[in-house]
Amino acid sequence: MDAALARGYELTPTGTEEDAWAELSVQGLRAGELDCRHPRRGEVWLAEMDKLRPAVVMHRDFAGRALNAVLVAPLTTKMRDIPTAVRLGPVDGLDRECMAALDNLTLLRKDRFVRAVAALSAERMAELCAALATAIACDVPTTRHRFGPGVDPPS
């Protein structure tokens, strides 16, 4: 990873679509609002994947602290109207229109996360969960939770 990027500096854009995500700015976030030590559910992080790109953390918070890798949905600017994708944009704290591809989930090591760029609302996460259920053909109602939705088990 580039040392300047690791310190949180912006990359110089090259003008290509692939490098466009390097221009992401933190919009509407106060210092310390996002936990920079562990990716948390619902946060959008700039991450080293096939290229530098943002991804939504889908794992529950307990797993994000306990595991070396977490489940993420990569974001893309290639927009498609499909039931396994959720559109995101400036209203979500991102600087451009994009979509989360829930049919393209990946397990990402925590050392591949560069920095947090946004935190999604509970309503938006519900949309992502519905798209994920479609992506994996899970027809089971999502109202059954052992410890409650998004709640960590007792320590």
Nearest to 98 by CA among 62, 152, 56: 56
Token pair of 143 as six digits:
């109202």
The more confident residue out of 62 and 98 is 98
Name which residue leads in pLDDT, 133 or 67: 133
- Based on C-alpha coordinates, what's the Rg of the chain? 15
- C-alpha count within 13 angstroms, C-beta hemisphere, residue 102: 24
Q: Taking residues 98-118, what's their average pLDDT?
A: 94
pLDDT value of position 18: 46
What pLDDT score was predicted for residue 14? 44
| Share of residues in the chain with pLDDT > 70 (%) | 64
Q: How far apart are CA 64 and CA 45, in angstroms?
A: 13
- The reported pLDDT for the residue numbered 30 is 38
pLDDT at 148: 52
Q: State pLDDT tens for residues 30-87.
A: 334 444 568 899 999 999 998 999 999 998 876 657 788 999 999 999 998 999 999 9
Q: What is the pLDDT of residue 60?
A: 84
DSSP E strands in 2-152: the ranges are: 43-48, 52-57, 69-76, 85-88, 98-101, 106-109, 113-119
pLDDT tier at 127, thresholds 50, 70, 90: very high
Tell me how far apart the terminal alpha carbons of the chain are, to the nearest angstrom: 35
The pTM assigned to this predicted structure is 0.69
pLDDT at residue 61 in the model: 78
Please report the domains of the chain, with CATH numbers, ordered by start residue.
3-7+16-135 (2.30.30.110)
Distance of CA 70 to the CA centre of its chain: 10
